Chain A
């Protein structure tokens, strides 16, 4: 259980409309600490000296809620694949390494403070159709609706999206295509979501554009940084469904 030393270059910004800059810190920490535990300790050190702690988002710290997220050494959620930054550990880094920490950057994700960005744009897209409309009533029989195994698997894979926004952060165009594609694929493939498939697609895509996300250039870096490893086939699904919705094949 060795300790390691790191030099941290962390983006500090007081508010949405103020200038930010990097601040340098040195820290010694157990190599099995998680990245966020390392930031916690840094903040204790800063507060002990009367400074303002580094603000960052987190909640579950087990990679399932999508609250955390920042750029670590130029990669969303850091260098490990299929890992949210809360699940990243300091043993991934070399002793003595300089680690640069920046907030996710996109017009649609304005910086709130330091590493915290406002991802409400995702919520507004979600409100346009990331749900199914059902009448309330008694709970239906579990197997009343038959769904093929492959279809259920594909929908489930898309449903694992935690909405962290890393796809937007990593995309050279700051496109939200992977997030929206995953939502559309999740609901579109299942019989419960099918009745609203076309409308959902049109509304969510329109909101995505209105929020100011960029177009997709098929680079695929979103898939590479996605903590859930969601495939860009979800984006292909969205492109196809958007055409079908416009042609009236999907209501």
Chain B
């Protein structure tokens, strides 16, 4: 085995990849949230224009970029399952009879840290539903098309407006965003530690920063369905 392959396939290397892919996904979320907040303005052209603009700006690179993003998700998910299901089972085939009890202190043996597979799994399920909704239905269906500057584009705004009229969809989206928050609450700090980039003195601050990031993303995203459901843009801006 080459030295690089050996490193990446080691228990530590797998976590380097987990961390880099996780942080890559956080990077994607930054752009995704920034774009989606355009929905709050109530002006359909802004997000529709952003979507169309992304495609024309990236040009031939659009599909490779999209494939890279899908790849990032797949790598993250496959390794997550490998480490947390197969790896766990292999390293401790017979578990404890008495439920393990955390001893407190700095331990992250809590809600966020112990449930990464569950919160992540929900995100994966959401991802499939979400892609089917905004990618397949809007971009490949004929119902949600609109004209912008003389060109036909996907009407993302109207699509979101329609699905968020349903309280059930609002609850679903809001719920998933809370899980995203939990995932990032442990995930951000964990990624820095996995990469060996944590100075001991930083640990507390990075863990706190993880909380801030988790809240920013969860609240940033979950506000959108609520906002649209109650027609806040129309109430405030018109």
Binding site for B on A (CB under 8 A): 11, 22, 71, 73-75, 79, 81, 100, 102, 105-108, 170, 172-175, 205-206, 208-209, 212-221, 223-225, 231-233, 235-243, 246
Check if B107 sits within 8 Å of A243, measured CB to CB. no
Partner pick for A224 among B83, B105, B114, B203, CB 8 A cutoff: B105
Docked CA distance A106–B96 (Å): 10
Which residue of A has the minimal Cβ distance to B7? A246
- Please list the 7 inter-chain residue pairs (A to B) with the smallest Cβ-Cβ separation, ordered nearest first: A240-B196, A239-B196, A214-B91, A224-B103, A233-B200, A174-B91, A224-B107
* Interface core residue of A214, A215, A232, A246 (most chain B CB under 10 Å): A215
Can you sample 18 A-B contacts with CB below 8 Å? A71-B96, A73-B98, A79-B101, A105-B94, A107-B90, A173-B83, A175-B11, A206-B10, A214-B87, A215-B11, A221-B100, A224-B106, A231-B200, A233-B203, A239-B12, A239-B15, A240-B196, A246-B3
Minimum CB–CB distance from B218 to chain A (whole Å) comes to: 21
Chain A residue contacts of B88, Cβ below 8 A: 172-174, 214
User: Within 8 Å of chain A (Cβ to Cβ): is B113?
Assistant: yes
Minimum CB–CB distance from A81 to chain B (whole Å) comes to: 6
Chain A residue contacts of B106, Cβ below 8 A: 220, 223-224, 231-232
Check if A216 sits within 8 Å of B15, measured CB to CB. yes
Q: How many residues of B contact A (CB 8 A)?
A: 49
Minimum CB–CB distance from A24 to chain B (whole Å) comes to: 13
Partner pick for B96 among A74, A108, A218, A241, CB 8 A cutoff: A74
Check if B100 sits within 8 Å of A233, measured CB to CB. no
Partner pick for B91 among A22, A175, A218, CB 8 A cutoff: A175
Assuming A175-B11, A231-B200, A242-B12, is B91 touching A108 (CB within 8 A)?
A: yes
Check if B107 sits within 8 Å of A22, measured CB to CB. no
Check if B103 sits within 8 Å of A238, measured CB to CB. no
Chain B residue contacts of A239, Cβ below 8 A: 12, 15-16, 193-196
Assuming A224-B109, A233-B198, is B96 touching A105 (CB within 8 A)?
A: yes
Chain B residue contacts of A170, Cβ below 8 A: 100, 103
Chain B residue contacts of A173, Cβ below 8 A: 83-84, 87-88, 91-92
Check if A102 sits within 8 Å of B97, measured CB to CB. yes
Check if A236 sits within 8 Å of B196, measured CB to CB. yes
Check if B15 sits within 8 Å of A219, measured CB to CB. no
Chain B residue contacts of A175, Cβ below 8 A: 11, 91
Check if B93 sits within 8 Å of A75, measured CB to CB. no
Check if A220 sits within 8 Å of B87, measured CB to CB. no
Check if A212 sits within 8 Å of B11, measured CB to CB. no
User: Within 8 Å of chain A (Cβ to Cβ): is B116?
Assistant: yes
Check if A224 sits within 8 Å of B12, measured CB to CB. no
Enumerate B57-91 residues with CB–CB distance to A below 8 Å: 83-84, 87-88, 90-91
Check if A219 sits within 8 Å of B103, measured CB to CB. no
Partner pick for B98 among A100, A209, A233, CB 8 A cutoff: A100
Chain A residue contacts of B168, Cβ below 8 A: none
